[in-house]
Structure formats: C-alpha cells, structure tokens
Amino acid sequence: MKLTLKLTTAAVALALLAGCVETTGRTRDAAGAVSGTPTPAEQACLRDVTRTTNNPDVVLLSSSFSQAGTEVIVGVGPQRARWRGIANADGTTAGIESLTDEGGL
C-alpha cells in the first residue's frame, strides 16, 4: 500500500512539473543560429542590422527580453560577425552596433 501511494504521489508530482516547462519550439542549428519564427522585436533588429551593414545575410543568434527592450544578437555574413541591437515594443530599435573587433575587419 505504501509503495503504491509513493508511486502515485511521484506520478502526480511529475505531471505537475511537466506543466511548468515552457516550450517555444525554437532550436539552434549547427552554426548556433536560432531557428523558428522570430518575434516582432527580433525581426526589427534583423531588419535594422541588415540596413546598417548593407548585408542581407543575417541570422538570429540570441535574444533576451526585458521591459526596457529586447537585446538581440545577430550574426552577419558567412562568418556570422556578431551585431547587437535593442528592440522596443513599438518596433523601433536602438544601439545597433558591431560586437566584433573593428580593427580586425
């Protein structure tokens, strides 16, 4: 009886914990780029990094949401040179900047 109660309790606990995991459906490819549909904030940074670099070969590497703005890291070109931008909820961006060694380019 005690074993059955423990197993039932464990099964219920696992089921409850499974409900706490958020699945976004986003993964990383072999190059480290995030796959899946970018959020509007990510799209805004991808757009503005493309404009700033005049290079349409951009990929989303990572993003971090905050109320102040979403930090988005973008890879540019075949070498995936890292660029950073901050995207706001209204679709504007700020701080589009290269994270690579400018002297090495």
C-beta separation of 65 from 41 below 8 A:
yes
Q: For 70-84, what is each residue's pLDDT tens digit?
A: 999 999 999 999 999
pTM of the model: 0.66
pLDDT computed for residue 21 by the predictor: 34
Measured distance CA(12)–CA(70) in Å, rounded: 37
- 3-state SS, residue 33: coil
More confident residue, 12 or 35: 35
Q: In what side-by-side order are the strands of the sheet with 93-98?
A: 58-64, 70-76, 81-87, 93-98
